[in-house]
Every structure is written in C-alpha cells, then in structure tokens.
Amino acid sequence: MRADPRGERQRALSRRLEEAGLDALLVSHPPNVRYLTGFSGSTSMLLALRDEMVLVVDPRYAVQAPAETTGAARVEIAPRSLWEGLGLTVSAIRPETLGFEADHATVREAERIAKLGAARTRGTDGLVEGLRVSKDEGEVDAIRRAASLAHDALLAILPSIAPGQTELAVASRLEAALRDRGSEWHPFQTIVASGPRSALPHARAADRVIERGDLLLIDFGATLDGYCSDLTRTFVVGRAPDDRQRAAYDAVRAAQQAAISGIRAGMTGRKADALARGSLESAGFGAAFRHSLGHGLGLEVHEDPRLAPTAEGLLPAGAVVTIEPGVYFEGWGGVRLEDDVFLPNEGPTLVSPGAPALEEVP
C-alpha cells in the first residue's frame, strides 16, 4: 500500500511559503486544491498555512469535503457563501502576508482577497504547480491506467468506423466507450477530423461525412483518479493508404520515435522539440510541423513543462509529457501521433501503448 503523499506535498509547499516570505497562501485553482488535500469539488478555497491546511467549502460539500480530505485539511463549512466563510477564517487567523494564485484569480477576486483581513496580500505564480511537475509513483500509475483505458476504448470502436458516418457519430461512440470503461470524464473535447479537416490541428468533431480513403485523425483521452491521458492516432478509412498518406505517416512516426528515444530529464524543452523537428526536416516535412512537440500531463491535460522551440526551461525528473509531432497540408489532410512519456532519471518510459504502423479502418 502506497503512503499518502499529501503530507509531503504540504511540507514542500510550506518550505516554498517560507522562501517566498508568505505566512499563508490562498489556493483557489481546483487541481491545486485536489493535489494538496484530495478534495475534488469544483468550488472551494484552501488556506495553506506553514503548519496547517484549512479548506473552506460551502454547505453543498459538507459531506464530500471531510470524506475526501480524510484529515489532510481542517474543513470549515461556510454558513452561507464561500467568501463569507473565507473571510471569517482569515480574520480568525490574521496572517501577516497572504499570497494568492494571481494567474487563477480575476480582478474582482483579487479585490475581495485584499479585504479578507490579512495585513498584506501578494499575487504569486506557480507555487503549487511547481510541485506538481514531478509525479510520484501513484500519479504515474494513474496516468498509465488512464492511457490504457483510452487505448482500449479506441480499439473497441475501430471496427465500427466506416465511410458514410459523420465525425460526430464517431466521437460519440468513442466518448461512450471511454465512459463505459470507467473514465471519470473527458480531459478535453474529443477531436475527430477527417479528410481535409485533419489538417486543422485543433479541429472539433463536425457533421462532415467521412469518405472512403480519408485520413481520420482522432485526439482523445481519459481521466482516472483525477489524472489525464492524452493520445492521438491517425488512420485511413475504407481502403489501403496511398503513397502520400504512407509517406507522411511514416515521417511523423519516425519523428515521434526519435523524440521518445532521445528525450531526457534535464534537457531543455527546446532541445526535446528539436529531436522531432529535425527528423521531420530531414524527411522533407519540416515546414508542415506547425505546433510544438508536447506539454506536461497530470491533473490537467496541459501542464508544465513545455516542449517547444521557445521553451528554454529544463525538463524535470519525474515529469510526464506528451510527444505529439504532426504534419498538416491545407486541402489534403494531416497526420499526428501522440503518446505519453514518463521522464525518470534513468531514461524515458512510455506510459501509453505506443502508436502502431499506419492502419486501414475498418
């Protein structure tokens, strides 16, 4: 049985508060609250002190909050509104310097925080997110299981895909298969893009009818224990791939394999991106790679670190990242392959099943 990681996470945050000269931090971003306490509700305020966590929730969570936090935080039930309850809590503790998550607070919320009763308030950036970048064994296992679930759901619906169906119909069946297998929710809106629409990197499923010979790009994921997986697969529908489709696919697959085998904790996100970008440039597809290589993955589907031509930050040991090169040609289509990779000090480890050779469906 794994040890509860929340105590060490809270102690690590306490050290960060001390280094930042803060007596307390108001944590409002739900993934950060869940990371520190286990509470999964959508509305709460966590007052993180150097020696205590106080979770303020409204009466809707009077049962859920104590059950999920299991002693990791003192739960205060606001008598009426969340902000009223928070004001009572802060006034009773009266921290000298209260930080708040500036990148998650609106201007109105920042104004309300300034009136809570602390002597001083100060916006902060990434105090909790910086802890979340390196995953522990339990987090990696959750992402691995979410990736396996997503992979199995796609395999279940592939035989049913055929020309004449709409992208929306395929997306609907895939999302149902994800839920049937236990996905808590979809980490993002499922992408199903066919034919020329597969050249749109962030296309949403539409009512376009899939035609025989189309490229079909599917970007999807699952969520388990709050942790996300993120996969992309590309197929040809209804017939064997033609030479151009196979050439594009093989180039993308080679670029992905180059990045997966070459990426290391401690290198910059720019150098990681260059592993795939250089492979595609050598194959003559460099200009068609129109986005960055990947991003961190965890309680949110897009987290730090970044893998991009402009990302000079180092990839930390313990990060889980996506590796998703792609090529896109307006009016013709696109190919993208995406898998999830864990970066321990010993070297990269796939936590998703890995992209196959180009397949025809059904």
Domain with 215 in it: what CATH number? Answer: 3.90.230.10
pLDDT > 70 in the chain, percent: 100
DSSP string, 285-350: -GGG--S-SEEE-SSSSSEEEEESTT--SBPPTTEEEEE--EEEETTTEEEE-BEEEEE-TT--EE
State how far the Cα of 166 lies from the Cα of 172, in Å rounded to an integer. 10
Whether residues 192 and 312 fall in one domain: yes
Q: What is the pLDDT at residue 284?
A: 98
Residue 218 maps to a domain? yes
Residues 117 and 260 in one domain: no
Average pLDDT estimate for 191-204: 97
Nearest to 332 by CA among 195, 204, 191: 195
Instruction: Please give the structure tokens belonging to residue 112.
Output: 């309300």
Structure confidence by residue, pLDDT tens digits, 106-163: 999 999 999 998 999 999 999 999 999 999 999 999 999 999 999 999 999 999 999 9
Question: Is residue 285 within 8 Å of 249, Cβ to Cβ?
Answer: no
| 177 pLDDT more than 90 | yes
Does residue 322 lie within any of the structural domains? yes
- With respect to residue 192, please indicate whether it lies within any of the assigned structural domains: yes
Instruction: Over range 92-118, report the average pLDDT.
Output: 95
Domain membership of residue 142 (yes or no) is yes
Averaged confidence pLDDT in the chain: 97
Which domain CATH number covers 74? 3.40.350.10
Question: What pLDDT is recorded for position 62?
Answer: 96
Answer whether residue 1 shows pLDDT above 80.
Answer: no
Query: How many CB atoms are closer than 10 A to CB 131?
Result: 18
pLDDT value, residue 362 = 86
Asked if 91 and 157 sit in the same domain, the reply is no
The boundaries of the domain holding residue 83 are: 6-131
Over residues 183-207, mean pLDDT: 97
Is 231 found in the same domain as 146? yes
- Of residues 362 and 58, the one with the higher pLDDT is 58
Smallest Cα–Cα separation from 141: which of 348, 336, 339, 320? 320
Structure tokens at 6: 């929340």
pLDDT digits (tens, 9 = 90+) for 310-361: 999 999 999 999 999 999 999 999 999 999 999 999 999 999 999 999 988 9
100: pLDDT strictly greater than 80: yes
> Residue 1 falls within a domain, yes or no?
no
The verdict on 52 and 153 lying in the same domain is no
Contact (Cβ atoms closer than 8 angstroms) between residue 131 and residue 25: no
pLDDT at 359: 86
My answer on whether 183 and 264 are in the same domain is yes
CA distances, 209 to each of 11, 215, 340 (Å): 54, 12, 30
Chain segment 246-267, per-residue pLDDT in tens: 999 999 999 999 999 999 999 9
Q: Which of 105, 131, 157 is the last residue of a domain?
A: 131
pTM of the model: 0.97
User: Does 101 share its domain with 247?
Assistant: no
- Residue from 170, 174, 172, 244 nearest 209 by CA: 170
- 36 and 98 co-located in one domain: yes
Are 45 and 104 contained in the same domain?
A: yes
Kindly state whether residue 153 falls inside one of the protein's structural domains: yes
Judgement on whether residues 293 and 332 belong to the same structural domain of the protein: yes
Rounded distance, CA 362 to CA 356, Å?
15
At which of 85, 108, 131 does a domain end? 131
Name which of 6, 87, 70, 82 is nearest 44 in CA terms: 82
Degrees (nearest 5) of the Cα angle 192, 196, 200?
Answer: 60
Which parts of the chain fold into alpha helices (H)?
A: 6-20, 30-37, 64-69, 82-93, 107-114, 129-132, 137-157, 167-180, 243-262, 269-282
Q: Is residue 161 part of a domain?
A: yes
| Domain contains 167 | yes
Give whole-number Cα distances, 300 to 188, 218, 229, 250, 297, in Å: 10, 20, 9, 30, 6
Q: In the listed set 131, 165, 191, which residue is the last one of a domain according to the structure?
A: 131
Task: Place 29 in a pLDDT band, splitting at 50, 70 and 90.
Answer: very high
In the predicted model, is pLDDT for residue 2 greater than 90? no
Q: What are phi and psi of 292, to 5 degrees?
A: -80, 170
Clarify whether residues 55 and 76 are in a common domain.
yes
How many structural domains comprise the chain?
2
Q: CA triplet 153, 355, 238: central angle to 5 degrees?
A: 70
Model confidence at 228, pLDDT cuts 50, 70, 90, reads: very high
Q: What is the pLDDT of residue 277?
A: 98
Q: pLDDT digit string (tens) for 271-300?
A: 999 999 999 999 999 999 999 999 999 999
pLDDT single digits (tens) 31-78: 999 999 999 999 999 999 999 999 999 999 999 999 999 999 999 999
Specify whether 105 is located in the same domain as 193: no
